[in-house]
């Protein structure tokens, strides 16, 4: 493996974004593994890897990454929304509802509000 340095990690991160956009989430995860190994505190890389896990239908790893992001950034509306989608896809609607509502409370985007279903009571 070639020498890894901060510059190659940035290149890997950007390439992983491109792979995810090109619908190659497994390739994105592979690139991000080395970035996260070198920079475990990098929330952006973890969020991108969580999205890639979700796109690859690796729901448990996606859940763990989204939760780690939320430990560091509890006000990250997108991470709450994406975690909710992960729970929804895994057949855990009660957990999904909580995070959909947190996402909508943090950022009242129409998509988040619709998913939160505040008008349905509970």
Domain boundaries, the chain: 1-58, 73-121
Segment 58-113, tens digit of pLDDT:
999 999 999 999 999 999 999 999 999 999 999 999 999 999 999 999 999 999 99
pTM over 0.75: yes
Q: How far is CA 47 from the centre of its chain?
A: 4
Q: Are 116 and 100 in contact (CB under 8 A)?
A: yes
* CA-based nearest residue to 78, from 58, 104, 60: 104
* Token pair of 61 as six digits: 């790893």
The region that residue 110 occupies, defined by phi over 0 for left and psi between -120 and 50 for alpha, beta otherwise, is alpha
């Amino acid at each position: 493996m070639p020498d890894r340095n901060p510059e190659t990690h940035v290149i890997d991160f950007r390439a992983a974004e491109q792979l995810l956009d090109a619908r190659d989430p497994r390739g994105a995860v592979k690139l991000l593994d080395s970035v996260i190994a070198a920079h475990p505190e990098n929330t952006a890389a973890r969020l991108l890897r969580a999205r890639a896990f979700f796109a690859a239908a690796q729901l448990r790893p996606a859940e763990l990454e989204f939760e780690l992001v939320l430990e560091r950034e509890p006000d990250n509306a997108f991470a709450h929304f994406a975690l909710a989608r992960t729970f929804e896809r895994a057949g855990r609607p009660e957990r999904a509802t909580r995070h959909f509502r947190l996402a909508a409370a943090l950022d009242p985007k129409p998509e988040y509000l619709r998913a939160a279903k505040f008008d349905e009571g509970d």
